[in-house]
Amino acid sequence: MDLKAFISSCAGLALSDAERRFFDDARPCGLILFARNCATPKQLRALVASFKDAVESDDVLVLIDQEGGRVQRLRPPNWRNMPPARCYGVLYESDPEMAQQAAFAGARLIAQELRDADITVNCTPVLDVPQKGAHEIIGDRAFSTDPEVVIALGRAVMEGCLAGGVLPVIKHVPGHGRAGADSHLSLPRIDASEAELRAVDFRPFQALRDAPLAMTAHVLLPAFDDRRPSSVSPVIMGEVIRDLIGLTGLVMSDDLGMKALGGTFAARARGVMAAGCDVALHCSGDLAEMVEVGSAVPPLAGVAAERFARARVYLHDPQPFDVEAAMARVTEAAGTRVASLGPDPTVPV
């Protein structure tokens, strides 16, 4: 039986019997984790193992949002507290080379912790370019208001993830930086012209179009489609994200539960798949919603399956690195000491 084209979540620190039965039947191609699922590396490994056992596959992806700053699901005392992306952008203004080294080091340190917990995907870097008047939902999660700085630091984070044997996810394509609203709560309308979007918002995604994985933004871009949010717009998914921006990797939707989308969960899932997303993402851990999404998505097949397989090729053994030197570089960017987890941060807690 094939894996299906959706990434699911779960409610707690261990799978319930009902969740096990659901995963056994629906077989999502991935599991995304949140703070509610994370207590210790040992507990996380057990949770991941039980998910793989339920879907009867080791080929699934295990995802988390561990950007640093406001968005990090793994927190002290069992994991390091890492700085937000903007810290690297501020350092870039005075020392671009050091900033890129620090961004790489931060991503590499995070990848080490994720690998220790059997997590294979980090939903970072954020390539959005904030503009004046935009909603704070992106804020310091973005590297800079300069797309060229975003490109340089986004590339460094992407390479740091890959060096640590973890897949990065560039987000939120085709750009959430101008949004005046939080798409978790409502549908942002971005009234920039096509020329403005090409010159600023799309630039980082074009430059990193070779990324193995990408996540969409639930935004309305009237310059291309004045009726449908980008994640459910065949025009934006096809003509903009694939053709104009040129992404070649697997593209997942942002969370189907966000209020920027409307309709039932089945309708949302069918909508993102029909528009051209390879995989639908569902994050709430609500079993009834999970069942609805799982019933609406197709098997992971065709070009989507090929992109999924190509992404997994990057899941190699981590490259050696100097932990203390990496922490020193991140400390330079953060302006505060990055806590050590002891002589060997990979020792299970």
Whether residue 342 is predicted with pLDDT greater than 50 in this model: the reply is no
Residue 242 CB burial class (10 angstroms; 0-12, 13-18, ≥19): middle
- Lowest model confidence (mean pLDDT) among 91-95, 104-108, 278-282, 345-349: 345-349
Over range 8-27, report the average pLDDT. 98
If one counts every other C-beta atom within 10 angstroms of the C-beta of residue 84, the result is: 21
pLDDT band at 336 (very low <50, low <70, confident <90, very high): low
If one counts every other C-beta atom within 10 angstroms of the C-beta of residue 205, the result is: 29
**Furthest CA-CA distance within the chain:** 55
Over range 140-161, report the average pLDDT. 97
Query: What confidence tens digit (pLDDT) does each residue in 200-236 have?
Result: 999 999 999 999 999 999 999 999 999 999 999 999 9
Task: Compute the CA torsion angle 289, 291, 297, 300 (nearest 10 deg).
Answer: 120
* Residue 344: predicted pLDDT: 35
* Residue 224: predicted pLDDT: 97
Whether residue 346 is predicted with pLDDT greater than 60 in this model: the reply is no
Task: Give catalytic residue positions.
Answer: 184, 254
* Residue 235: predicted pLDDT: 98
Query: What confidence tens digit (pLDDT) does each residue in 19-47 have?
Result: 999 999 999 999 999 999 999 999 999 99
Whether residue 15 is predicted with pLDDT greater than 50 in this model: the reply is yes
Give residue limits of the domains in the chain: 4-334
In the numeric block, which tokens belong to residue 316?
């190699």
- What is the rounded distance in angstroms from the CA atom of residue 155 to the CA atom of residue 89? 13
Q: Is there a contact between 67 and 124 (Cβ–Cβ < 8 Å)?
A: yes
Q: Is there a contact between 174 and 236 (Cβ–Cβ < 8 Å)?
A: yes
If one counts every other C-beta atom within 10 angstroms of the C-beta of residue 58, the result is: 8
* Residue 334: predicted pLDDT: 86
More confident residue, 241 or 134: 241
* Residue 343: predicted pLDDT: 36
- What is the rounded distance in angstroms from the CA atom of residue 311 to the CA atom of residue 307? 6
In the numeric block, which tokens belong to residue 31?
């599991």
Fold that domain 4-334 belongs to in CATH = TIM Barrel (3.20.20)
| pTM (2 d.p.) | 0.94
- What is the rounded distance in angstroms from the CA atom of residue 270 to the CA atom of residue 278? 11
Tally the residues of the chain.
349
In three-state secondary structure terms, 68 is: strand
Phi, psi of 275 (to 5 degrees): -70, -25
pLDDT band at 348 (very low <50, low <70, confident <90, very high): very low
